[in-house]
């Protein structure tokens, strides 16, 4: 959780945010630059490598700009932006769009500290994890990916998705159970589970 990205605009000065809400060009550009890393990262975590990532980011900003006049600053900006990202990602997860634009799983970056072989192997395993999670519903998948890959707490995820904490915990639990069940049928995932358990 400590590695979860800290969004710089959380500490955004109210002055430029207010100007952005009024539609001032410079303030909007600043908003885009400040939030882009967070948006890309969340989309990457939720969807994995996608050929249409740029389109999805554009979609996030169109929705963000439309919703901006309604943002009163009651919640953190990261929550506001994160909610929009989750909405766009969930739409993109639906099978038609998802299957049409999904790139090869091998493009998953993996751990840069690992060697080239290990990175390829990690990317393949991560692809299998995502494939196993394809079988669970979007809400459960989103909650699990934010919890497992992004390191968010159930409370943070609940805030982002607009669900209760109990519902979020339940979604994570069921996605986790589905993943472990799938791992039992997949030799490579099973091997990774055993191996990673032995060498924490």
Contact residues: other proteins, CB under 8 A: 3, 20-25, 28-29, 31-33, 36-37, 40-41, 44-45, 48-50, 53-54, 57-58, 61-62, 65-70, 107-114, 122, 125-126, 129, 147-149, 151, 154, 169-170, 172-173, 176, 179-180, 192-193, 196-197, 200
Q: How far is the CB of 63 from other proteins (least distance, A)?
A: 10
Tell me the sheet residues that pair with 102: 50
DSSP per residue over 89-134, as a string? HHHHHSHHHHHHHB--GGG----TTS-HHHHHHHHHHHHHHHHHHT
> Measured from the CB atom, is 75 or 196 closer to other proteins?
196
Cα separation, 164 vs 66, whole angstroms: 26
Q: How far is the CB of 168 from other proteins (least distance, A)?
A: 10
| Residue located via tokens 């990175």 | 119
Q: How far is the CB of 171 from other proteins (least distance, A)?
A: 10
- Whole-Å CA distances, 133 to 6, 46, 65, 120: 26, 11, 31, 20
Q: How far is the CB of 154 from other proteins (least distance, A)?
A: 8
> Measured from the CB atom, is 33 or 91 closer to other proteins?
33
């Amino acid at each position: 959780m400590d590695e979860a990205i800290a969004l710089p605009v959380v500490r955004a000065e109210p002055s430029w945010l207010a100007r952005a809400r009024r539609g001032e060009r410079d303030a909007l550009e600043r908003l885009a630059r400040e939030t882009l890393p967070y948006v890309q990262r969340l989309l990457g975590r939720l969807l994995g490598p996608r050929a249409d990532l740029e389109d999805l980011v554009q979609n996030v900003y169109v929705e963000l700009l439309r919703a901006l006049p309604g943002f009163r600053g009651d919640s953190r900006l990261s929550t506001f932006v994160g909610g929009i990202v989750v909405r766009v990602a969930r739409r993109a997860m639906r099978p038609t769009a998802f299957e049409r634009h999904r790139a090869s799983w091998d493009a998953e970056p993996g751990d840069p500290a690992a060697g080239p072989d290990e990175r390829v192997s990690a990317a393949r395993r991560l692809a299998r994890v995502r494939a196993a999670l394809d079988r669970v519903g979007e809400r459960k998948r989103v909650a699990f990916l934010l919890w497992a890959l992004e390191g968010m707490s159930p409370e943070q995820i609940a805030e982002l998705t607009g669900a209760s904490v109990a519902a979020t915990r339940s979604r994570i639990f069921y996605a986790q159970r589905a993943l472990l069940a799938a791992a039992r049928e997949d030799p490579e995932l099973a091997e990774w589970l055993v191996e990673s358990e032995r060498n924490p």
